[in-house]
Amino acid sequence: MADEEKPAELSASGEAKKRRAPKAPELPIVERRNWLIHQHYIRKDYETCKVIIKTQLQETNGMCEYAIYVQALILRLEGRIQESLELLQSCAILNPSSTDNLKQVARSLFLLGKHKAAIEVYHEAARLCDKDWEISHNLGVCFFFIKDFKNAEEHLNTALQINKHDKTFMMLGKVHLVAGETDKAIEVFKRAVEFSPENTDHLSTLGLLYLQLRKYQKAFEHLGNALTFDPNNYKAILAAGSMMQTHGDFDVAMNKYRVAACAVPESPPLWNNIGMCFFGKKKYVAAISCLKRANYLSPFDWKVLYNLGLVHLTMQQYASAFHFLSAAISLNPRMGELYMLLAVALTNLEDVENSTRAYEQAVNLDESNPLVNLNFAIFLYNHGDKTAALDQYQEMQRKVNILQDSSSNLEFDPELMDMAQKLGAALQVGESLQWTKPGKDSKSKPHSATLAKSPSAPLGTNQALGQAMSSAASYNKNIQLPAGVSKSLFAAPDPEAEVGNDPGLPADPPGSPQPAV
């Protein structure tokens, strides 16, 4: 009897447990498919996601906030930013207290280029959530695009106080660089390296900045660290290669460029640097081939056109030199040295009138390069205008003295010194120009020795003048910014990402090597 009662009790208790089991909560109809929409969205199954969203919106009469929100994100990914903005504004109306909705509205406005409108929406979102890293960072980016660098710096610093982030450090460094505050940019990247010591972008950028300031030891240290963490970092490889190329180690630089060519075979700065390595090794045909490839990849880069003109001048192909130099001038009409080289080409083409005009324009634009005045003085002397030649010679002396006062380690190209001394003797200048003699380890371009081998050449002949000009790149290397800070400054950040890209750096003198973009 007891045995019969036991199963009855067990079954009764089991039924009671079943009755007591809680039911899954009934989700409101407005939100019941949100989980499924989310699953398909994060799997990037956008087509299925859009079908579910359409069904959900039909059932809710367009009142499901999450479905509208995800549909707007999908439309933005497809490039339909205006439609995405309208849907996100609908979300903001349905739920005006949501900072996420406002941030996405501001982002769409940013992508449409409406930076001031985006700033207003970000400020409204900041009133709802005062300490949000994303809002502060993106406000800084928007102010950067409207060139309000003071506010950009303020909001980016606020973002770093809330939460340190690599993207914010990078953007703040870019703001300082565009504003011309290199020292502040270096301090920012130092802090970035302390925060993220293995970030190769920060290390390579800091190395390039030190290279610009001619602090080669620190530059090499940071570039070396970048290559330690990422041996295939082409930006650091090209920077290190350009440093070696600047000091005349063309073979070592070429080995570096071979590694970089595997990573970025279509990089214009890479082929520009390779071309100038061949130029330094007197392999002019190979140099032209590489420079023309760089020109094909980047037809509006005036530095490549400058170098092509320089190589053609060296090969005494003056018509081709005129072609490339004219193209470079049309892209960069404010550089005196371009007009100087153009004048050399025109002199050798026996166009005296236009040569004079080109030299006059070069003298008006250039404020620091004595080579411009030296070549103009030679030109004037050859055409019998000794008075004007003496004026240009004295202006050259003034520039040399200023350069010597500003730098104690200044080295001039031996050919420049030789030509100036010959011209001084021809003009019967009583005081010889004092030059800082190059050190034993200094290396000039191989072609700069041509005049020294033929001292009997008449002063200022076409050949001598052309040879003097071909050393312009070497001279620039010695007295101006070192190589390693390639690329024209600051390409605009990709608008697809408000956090911005790696900062660019100020352009180096043409003819000098330039590291990667």
pLDDT at position 218 over 70? yes
Q: Which of 88-97, 244-253, 375-384, 444-453 has the lowest mean pLDDT?
A: 444-453
∠ CA 236-310-461, nearest 5°, is 145
Q: How far apart are CA 141 and CA 189, in angstroms?
A: 17
Token output for 382? 């050859």
Q: Which residue has the higher pLDDT, 336 or 447?
A: 336
Could you tell me if residue 511 is left (phi over 0), alpha (psi between -120 and 50 degrees) or otherwise beta?
Answer: left
Q: How far apart are CA 127 and CA 508, in angstroms?
A: 45
Q: How far apart are CA 181 and CA 173, in angstroms?
A: 9
- Integer-rounded Cα Rg, in Å, for the chain is 33
Cβ neighbours around 492 below 10 Å, total = 10
Q: How far apart are CA 20 and CA 25, in angstroms?
A: 15
Contact 199, 207 (CB under 8 A): no
Q: How far apart are CA 270 and CA 514, in angstroms?
A: 8
Q: How far apart are CA 289 and CA 446, in angstroms?
A: 20
**Model confidence band, residue 184 (pLDDT cutoffs 50, 70, 90):** very high
> What is the share, in percent, of the chain residues with pLDDT greater than 90?
39
The mean pLDDT value of the chain amounts to: 78
**Model confidence band, residue 215 (pLDDT cutoffs 50, 70, 90):** confident
Q: Mind listing the pLDDT tens digit for each residue in 48-74?
A: 998 988 888 888 888 888 989 999 999
pLDDT score recorded for residue 23: 62
Q: How buried is residue 1: exposed, middle or buried, by Cβ count under 10 Å (0-12/13-18/19+)?
A: exposed
pLDDT at position 296 over 90? yes
pLDDT at position 9 over 70? no
∠ CA 134-139-143, nearest 5°, is 150
pLDDT score recorded for residue 20: 58
pLDDT score recorded for residue 256: 87
Dihedral, CA of residue 121, residue 127, residue 128 and residue 130, to nearest 10:
110
Q: How far apart are CA 289 and CA 266, in angstroms?
A: 14
Helices of type H across 196-215:
200-212
Q: Which of 5-14, 219-228, 229-238, 442-451 has the lowest mean pLDDT?
A: 442-451
pLDDT at position 454 over 50? no
Dihedral, CA of residue 118, residue 123, residue 128 and residue 132, to nearest 10:
80
Q: How far apart are CA 516 and CA 502, in angstroms?
A: 12
Element (H, E) at 436: none
pLDDT score recorded for residue 15: 56
Q: Mind listing the pLDDT tens digit for each residue in 223-258?
A: 889 988 988 888 888 888 888 888 888 988 888 898
Which residue type sits at 503?
P
Residue with tokens 């082929």: 271
**Model confidence band, residue 11 (pLDDT cutoffs 50, 70, 90):** low
pLDDT at position 129 over 90? no
pLDDT score recorded for residue 21: 57
Q: What is the DSSP letter of 488?
A: S
pLDDT score recorded for residue 517: 33
Q: What is the DSSP letter of 283?
A: -
Residue with tokens 């002063």: 459
pLDDT at position 328 over 50? yes
Q: How far apart are CA 470 and CA 33, in angstroms?
A: 72
pLDDT score recorded for residue 29: 63
Q: Which residue has the higher pLDDT, 42 or 405?
A: 42
**Model confidence band, residue 409 (pLDDT cutoffs 50, 70, 90):** low
> What is the share, in percent, of the chain residues with pLDDT greater than 70?
76
Q: How buried is residue 67: exposed, middle or buried, by Cβ count under 10 Å (0-12/13-18/19+)?
A: buried
Q: Which residue has the higher pLDDT, 457 or 196?
A: 196
Q: Which of 44-53, 163-172, 275-284, 406-415 has the lowest mean pLDDT?
A: 406-415
Residue 424: helix, strand or coil by DSSP?
helix
Q: How far is CA 294 from CA 217, 267, 275, 291, 319, in A?
A: 30, 7, 9, 5, 20
pLDDT score recorded for residue 18: 53
Q: How far apart are CA 144 and CA 175, in angstroms?
A: 7
Q: Against a cut of 0.75, is the pTM above it? A: no
pLDDT score recorded for residue 399: 86
pLDDT at position 497 over 60? no
Q: Mind listing the pLDDT tens digit for each residue in 465-493?
A: 333 333 333 323 332 322 332 322 222 22
pLDDT at position 354 over 90? yes
